[in-house]
Amino acid sequence: MNPWTAAGALTYAGIGVASLLRPASVPVLFGGRADNAGARTEIRAVYGGLPLGVAAALVVQPRNSAVMAGLSGAMAAGRAGSLLLEGEAPSPANLAFLGLESVLALTLLLGHRLERTNQ
């Protein structure tokens, strides 16, 4: 695995582990809360399990980095579109995650390019 793909996998693994261990901290970043078991379970599934699945897929098959780059880019596009639709000034957390998702997409695309070059 090249360093770009490894960086993407580690970032996704970090997001997943943090969300599994402290699910109530996720909505707090955006002004919300997860004050019941159902909400925390949903956060663990989506913000914990899914990123860990992405990280695992990158470890098992690094050539999947283009697909994972597309997923990251789609998250960034969805977030950017929502920010435009909402018409309010974006929060620092929204901007930070938009940046993170965009950087992950670019990082994984670079990883994919390097994987193809090294075949």
The model's pLDDT over 87-110, given as tens digits with 9 standing for 90+, comes to 999 999 999 999 999 999 999 999
Per-domain residue ranges for the chain? 3-117
pTM of the model: 0.90
Q: State yes or no: pLDDT of 64 exceeds 80.
A: yes
Sign, Cα dihedral of 87, 45, 47, 70: negative
